[in-house]
Structure 1
Amino acid sequence: MPMIDFSTSNRGGKFQGEFTNIGQSYIVSASHMSTSLNTGK
């Protein structure tokens, strides 16, 4: 039982880390895009 719990929480942590990385990349891309749009104006 503890083994199953460990791998489940480990997988959940990995997924959360990947999701955080994707979110940060998206925020960075979005801010770059709005910066170039503002400069374009």
Structure 2
Amino acid sequence: MKNPPFIHQTVKKRVELLGFMIYDIYNGIFFSDIFSAKEE
């Protein structure tokens, strides 16, 4: 049941990339909400 190291690395990189994408989207929405609230 051991995974080859390169597959583990690929999965880890994909998970990290997905995490950064979600983080960027969350921050983008969060900051755009602040700026739109300031403009009103």
Counterpart position of 2:17: 14
Q: Which residue of 2 aligns with 1:30?
A: 33
Cα distance in structure 1, aligned partners of 2:32 and 2:9 = 35
Aligned residues: 37
User: TM-score normalized by structure 2?
Assistant: 0.78
Gaps of 5+ in 2: none
Identical pairs, percent: 14
- Give TM-score scaled by structure 1 length: 0.76
**Which of 5-14 and 26-35 deviates more?**
26-35
Deviation at residue 34 of structure 1 after TM alignment:
1.4
